[in-house]
A and B are shown apart, each in its own frame.
Chain A
Amino acid sequence: MLVFTRKADEAIVIGDGIEVKVLRIGRDAVRIGVTAAPHVPVHRREIYDQIRAANASAAAEPDAARALVSRLRQRATRQEPHD
């Protein structure tokens, strides 16, 4: 990992055109501004990780995915009279 010391209003540049700037330094948090082209996704790590975990639990082999659809459809059919 590259480590930098930056003050408020100082920035680093990543690659061609991504800038990460320290906007404000608080006691418990730092406010950061990211400038990047619209097609570059920028996410908060913890949110990204939650979605990554949800995707991992949703991913399946193709046959398993089809089997899951069959199970869910059977279940829905059984439940219908109670709706």
Chain B
Amino acid sequence: MTDVAVHEEVVTFADGLPGFESNHRFVLVGSPSLDPFTLLQGVGPDAPSFVAIDPRQVEPAFAGEIGSADRARLDAAPDAPLVWLALVSAHEHAPATVNLRAPIVINPASMRGIQIVPVESPYRLDHPLG
């Protein structure tokens, strides 16, 4: 199964993702055959891949919050546009869920990414995909 990727660029996660701290490089794969989903594909042997979606596709009122420390980790100016993605989990006996609480944020200008680990959030780790 191969898509012709419409965009495919390496994003650097300096701290990895929680649980995958040593995976620093991910390729963002988007194509019409995946839409509205995006693949976040780890680079390297045994690197994890994730299915991701724009949180607003799942929760139209989604308003992501990012602190100044996280902006600094993304090397992003205060008003720089950022790309938000939420990771999708499949479950054997239940519908898929989306992690709106800890979204992935990517700064397209620097191609740096982080996963936000919020102290408080109105959103769930397992929001129904709908």
Hey, which bits of chain A sit against chain B, CB under 8 A? 38-39, 41, 43-44, 47-69, 71-73
Contacts and interface: CB of A to CB of B under 8 A. Distances in A.
Contacts of A56: 19
Contacts of A61: 49
Contacts of B117: 41, 43, 47-48, 51
A55 B17 contact: yes
Given A41-B15, A54-B125, A68-B88, 7 more contacts: A38-B72, A54-B87, A55-B99, A58-B51, A58-B87, A60-B50, A71-B90
Given A43-B117, A51-B125, A52-B18, A65 B72 contact: no
Interface of B: 1, 3, 14-15, 17-20, 34, 37, 39, 41, 48-51, 68-69, 72-73, 87-91, 96, 99, 101-102, 114-115, 117-119, 125-126, 129
Contacts, number: 98
A44 B19 contact: no
Closest 7 CB pairs of A and B: A59-B48, A52-B19, A38-B72, A52-B18, A65-B49, A58-B87, A51-B102
A44 to B, nearest CB: 7
A13 B39 CA distance: 40
A48 B88 CA distance: 18
23 contacts: A38-B73, A39-B14, A41-B73, A43-B117, A48-B18, A51-B99, A51-B125, A52-B19, A55-B18, A55-B19, A55-B20, A55-B87, A59-B20, A60-B48, A60-B49, A65-B39, A66-B3, A66-B34, A66-B39, A69-B39, A72-B37, A72-B51, A73-B37
